[in-house]
Homo-oligomer: A and B are copies of this chain.
């Protein structure tokens, strides 16, 4: 199909999809609701995206790009020690969730547990985003450790980065169930420091 010329419509669809999927999930939201929220005719959806599944992959990209743009610089700020950057990064994500009353969870985690094999494209995108996220955290961890590898991420730092992200996502999940910041606080004060100990650094 020819690529439509109006980037504003595409933007509106992605904004609507991100808000609606985050608030209510993938399956509970229909395409008509997305186009209504975006203020465009329902038929135009398929000029931009061949399926809801392909659209979800684009929404996930947009969500992740927003996190990298808003909070990514924290992780590379040379004026702050690497471990402090990691804590500050997750504190920033905690503030994002506080603004939503801890009620919505993380869009990545939500779709991770809702998308099934039928949603191949979105699921593969999600796997790729989780990998990018691990790499970002691992690069910071590599600079934090007293290692002889000159700050280059290794299998060990990438695994550790993944565990930090997994503990974080579990905390966000429990925070959503209880609509409480308690799981965020214990992640920041106990789980994260204990995992960071593995690279021989303390918060």
Contact = CB atoms under 8 A, between A and B. Distances in A.
A113 B103 contact: no
A177 B112 contact: yes
A45 interface: no
Interface string A116-150: 11000001001100100000000000000000000
A169 interface: yes
A177 B130 CA distance: 9
Report how many copies the assembly holds.
2
B174 A162 contact: yes
Contacts of A168: 170
Contact of A170 (B25, B28, B117, B170): B170
Interface string A19-39: 000011101100000000000
A169 B172 CA distance: 10
Interface residues of A, number: 43
A183 B162 contact: yes
Interface stretch (A82-90, A91-99, A193-201): A193-201
13 contacts: A23-B116, A25-B27, A105-B113, A112-B174, A162-B174, A162-B183, A162-B186, A166-B167, A166-B171, A166-B183, A169-B173, A170-B171, A190-B198
Given A25-B116, A159-B190, A163-B190, 8 more contacts: A27-B28, A27-B114, A110-B114, A113-B113, A162-B174, A167-B170, A170-B170, A191-B195
Interface of A: 23-25, 27-28, 103, 105, 109-110, 112-114, 116-117, 123, 126-127, 130, 159-160, 162-163, 165-171, 173-174, 176-178, 183, 186-187, 190-191, 194-195, 197-198
By Cβ-Cβ distance, the 10 closest A-B pairs, closest first, are A166-B170, A170-B170, A27-B27, A169-B170, A27-B28, A110-B113, A167-B167, A194-B194, A113-B113, A112-B177
